[in-house]
Amino acid sequence: MNNSKAFGSVLARIRKELGFSSAHQFYNSVGGKKSLGFSLMTYWNTEHGKKLPRSWRLKAIIAALGVEQDSPRGQELIRAYFKALSGSDELLDSLSAPAAAGAADEDLPSRELAEAATQKALAQRTANLTLEQWKVCARDMVSFLCQYYLFNTTGWVTVRELSNATGFKPDLIRKTLRTFAAQGIAEFTNDKTRSEYAAKVVELLPATPATAPVKAALLGHLEKWMKKAGRVDTRRITIRMSRANLDIYRQHMDKFVELAAIYADSGENRQASAIYMVDAGIFQLLPKD
């Protein structure tokens, strides 16, 4: 049984234990789409292991079942969800092992459990490009945007789709994709392409003298393109803090930016989704250095 089916099986069993004889009865009894935020077919696919819900949908399901997140049933669903997300039944098991000497005896709060499981899931999905591959991605804006699209989109993508998404002419896209294929960045055949790096977390280049020109080129492309991008959200606060507290906060910020990947789904319907850049920055305002 794969992990998505295992999660669906747990959900179906708990639903039955709570007196809902069928997925259809449960869906209608709790208010349907108005309550859960998605269709009956989506819920049916979830129970049958065909689709793993987003985290906010899991919260809605748990609430509709009438169980608390920290209850035994709630915790069982959350654990099954993160096992499915990570692709391994063993990751969360390690969190249930006896605590190391000096550690607290009580269980991790559900939020910390979710964060720890997600960090392990991301580590399993991590992939690296060679310096030569990064040079190809940094060669020009067409290459830069094509790799962004392909690394965040599973399945075959047509040249026309890439052209429509980026605004570049099909001939330029084809030229780029032929280079990608030669460098092992993506497959390209019959005017369609796909990348093995889709659904993976591609590590950024380390900062070394050899990578500095490539990193600068990538940053230049990003900054140029971001001027055309539409800002979806922003949060700002101006505060005074010590250097030590700034270092601590940066560690927290790094972790939570990475956790944005929990909401990622490179197989999402392309008409109902877009590719976003999560950008968290800290600026020193005063005094001016």
User: Residues 262-289: pLDDT tens digits?
Assistant: 677 788 888 889 999 888 888 888 887 6
- Closest listed residue to residue 135, CA positions, set 220, 224, 213, 221: 213
How many structural domains compose the chain? 2
Q: pTM of this prediction?
A: 0.58
Answer yes or no: is 214 within a domain.
yes
- Judgement on whether residues 22 and 112 belong to the same structural domain of the protein: yes
Q: 272: how many CB neighbours lie within 10 A of its CB?
A: 6
- Give the pLDDT confidence score for residue 98 in this predicted structure: 47
Residue found under tokens 């608390």: 68
The reply to whether 97 and 118 lie within a common domain is yes
List the one residue out of 199, 190, 138, 185 whose CA is nearest residue 160.
190
Residues 159 and 175 in one domain: yes
242 found inside a domain: no
Residues 140 and 109 in one domain: no
25 and 114, same domain (yes or no): yes
Domain boundary among 175, 195, 226: 226
Written as one letter, the residue type at 117 is A
Residue 90: domain span: 3-124
Q: What is the CATH number of the domain that holds 203?
A: 1.10.10.10
Q: Out of 202, 226, 250, pick the residue that ends a domain.
A: 226
Type of residue at 283:
F
Same domain, 7 and 116: yes
The per-residue pLDDT for range 202-248, each reduced to its tens digit, is 888 888 888 999 999 999 999 999 988 888 888 888 889 898 888 88
CATH classification at residue 24: 1.10.260.40
pLDDT of 153 higher than 70: yes
What pLDDT, on the 0 to 100 scale, is given for residue 99?
44
Residues 109, 51: one domain? yes
